[in-house]
Amino acid sequence: MASDNIYIGIGSNLGNRMENLRSSIAHLQNSLIDVMQISSVYETEPRDFCDQDDFFNLVARISTSMKPVQLLNTINRIEHALGRKRQISSGPRTIDIDILLYEDQIISGKRLTIPHPRMHLRSFVLVPLAEIAPQTIHPILRQNIDSLLAVCKDTGKVNKLFEHEAISQ
């Protein structure tokens, strides 16, 4: 049975950022993952390691019958296929795919934490997530995404570049 309310964040700041986002969506769709909804694409400033180019970010709602760890393994394979190299923590990357929410599950493990532990602190996650899932409830904080965005203290640049239709072109 497929889970239909899984949200992932996708970002890129190396190479052709838009093409990297498109390729990641295509890889997801070829991996037993249905991409149900895609936010607009936003250009955002890097966090943590700031000496790098701006990111293109989006959030997608997906459906899959994979369990969370299977999904993580699939995402890691997609990132690798698209040239992701983990050299500098929070450093530049061709593609970064994070599981933000998996239904209302709470998972705390060495390899996987759901909900994403910093999603509520990052406007570059909350803005596109609020665009497609404003009333979705964070299972730990028990607030909807719109409410989390309203109190988010992250003031980094999040500029809408393209409507979600641009991803499929």
| Catalytically annotated residue among 22, 34, 47, 98 | 98
Dihedral angle at the C-alpha atoms of 85, 88, 92, 96, nearest 10 degrees? 60
Nearest to 7 by CA among 27, 28, 22: 28
Topology adopted by domain 3-168: Alpha-Beta Plaits (3.30.70)
79 CB burial (10 A radius; 0-12, 13-18, 19+): buried
Active-site residue, 77 included: no
The three-class DSSP label of residue 109 is: coil
| Catalytically annotated residue among 17, 61, 96, 122 | 96
| Catalytically annotated residue among 84, 86, 122, 142 | 84
For 49-78, what is the mean pLDDT? 91
Q: Please write the tens of the pLDDT for every residue from 97-147.
A: 999 999 999 999 999 999 999 999 999 999 999 999 999 999 999 999 999
| Catalytically annotated residue among 17, 93, 122, 154 | 93
Residues in contact with 160: Cβ distance below 8 Å, sequence separation at least 6, in sequence order = 40, 41, 42
Q: Please write the tens of the pLDDT for every residue from 8-38.
A: 999 999 999 999 999 999 999 999 899 999 9
Reported as a pLDDT band with limits 50, 70 and 90, residue 162 is: confident
Active-site residue, 98 included: yes
Active-site residue, 86 included: no
For 57-76, what is the mean pLDDT? 97
Whole-number pLDDT of residue 87? 62
User: In this model, does residue 83 exceed pLDDT 70?
Assistant: yes
Active-site residue, 22 included: no
